[in-house]
Homo-oligomer: A and B are copies of this chain.
Amino acid sequence: MAAVMKSHIRVVLADDHPVVRDGLAAMINQQPDMEVVGEAGDGEEAITLYEQHRPDVMVLDLRMPKRDGVAVVQRVLELNPKACILVMTTYDGDEDIFQCLSQGAKGYLLKDAPRQEILSAIRAVSEDRPYTSSTVAAKALQRMGKPSLTQRELDVLQLVAQGRSNKDIARRLSITEGTAKTHVKAILTKLDAISRTEAVAVAHKRGLIHL
C-alpha cells in the first residue's frame, strides 16, 4: 500500500468532537494532495500522534480535554520548532489565539469557515506560509494598544468571574482584602469597565476567561 505519492500533505487532526473530525477528514481525504494520517480526541493524544506521525500539518482545536490547544502548541513546537500548526476554534474572541500565534502556530481558522478556506489554509500552512483569517487579523489590530493583564490580575479576574467577593478572593489567594481590591481596580481600569460585572462581560467577550 501507499505506492504513488509525491507531495502528499500528511495531516493529523485534533478535535474533541467526533463529528468535526469526520467532517475535516472527509473534506481532506477528498483532496488528491492531502491525507489524514491520524485523529486525536484530546490534547495528550494529539501530542502522541504528532510524535508518531510527524505530519506536514497539524490541525488543532483550541479547546480540548486533558490539555488545551495552547499547551499542545507549546509542546509540539518543543518537539519540532518547524512544525506547521493550524489552530481552529469556534469563537473569534479567544485571547488564546494570540498566544498560539505568538508562540509559533502558523495559522488560525474559525470553525465556521467555508470548506475552501479550510483547505487553502491547510495548503498555505503546509508550505510554511502563515495563514490568518481576516476576522482574526481584524481582532489582532483591535487588540493592539490595549493593556494586557498580569498573571495575578488574571487569577483575580477568574475568581471575580465566579462571583466571589473581594474578601473571598483575598482568602483564596492569601492576600488582604485591600490588595484584592487593588487588583480588581487595576482590572477595571485595564478593561475599561465600571463594575466587576462589566469587567467579567468584557473579559468574556475578549476570551480572557472561559465559562
Contact string against B for A residues 194-205, beta-carbon threshold 8 Å, 1 for contact and 0 otherwise:
111111111011
Q: Are B197 and A163 in contact (CB under 8 A)?
A: yes
Contacts of A199 in B (CB 8 A): 163
Q: How many residues of A contact B (CB 8 A)?
A: 38
Given contacts A161-B201, A163-B197, A200-B200, A20 and B18 within 8 Å (CB-CB): no
A145 at the interface (CB under 8 A from B): no
Q: How far is the CB of A105 from the nearest CB of chain B, in Å?
A: 19
A51 at the interface (CB under 8 A from B): no
For the residues of A in contact with B, the DSSP-based class is helix
Which A92-147 residues have a C-beta within 8 angstroms of B?
A: 111-115, 118
Contacts of A201 in B (CB 8 A): 161-163, 200
Contacts of A21 in B (CB 8 A): 23
Contact string against B for A residues 1-35, beta-carbon threshold 8 Å, 1 for contact and 0 otherwise:
00000000000000011111111111100000000
Q: Are B165 and A111 in contact (CB under 8 A)?
A: no
Q: Compute how far the CA of A198 lies from the CA of B196 in the bound complex, rounded to whole angstroms.
A: 11
Q: Are B111 and A17 in contact (CB under 8 A)?
A: yes
A36 at the interface (CB under 8 A from B): no
Which A150-165 residues have a C-beta within 8 angstroms of B?
A: 160-165
Q: Compute how far the CA of A67 lies from the CA of B55 in the bound complex, rounded to whole angstroms.
A: 40
Contacts of A176 in B (CB 8 A): none
Q: Are A112 and B163 in contact (CB under 8 A)?
A: no
Contacts of A19 in B (CB 8 A): 20, 23-24, 27, 111, 113, 115, 118
Q: Are B200 and A163 in contact (CB under 8 A)?
A: yes
Q: How far is the CB of A138 from the nearest CB of chain B, in Å?
A: 19
In order of increasing CB-CB distance, the 4 nearest A-B pairs are: A163-B198, A23-B23, A22-B23, A26-B26
Spell out A's residues near B (CB within 8 Å). 16-27, 90, 111-115, 118, 160-165, 193-202, 204-205, 211
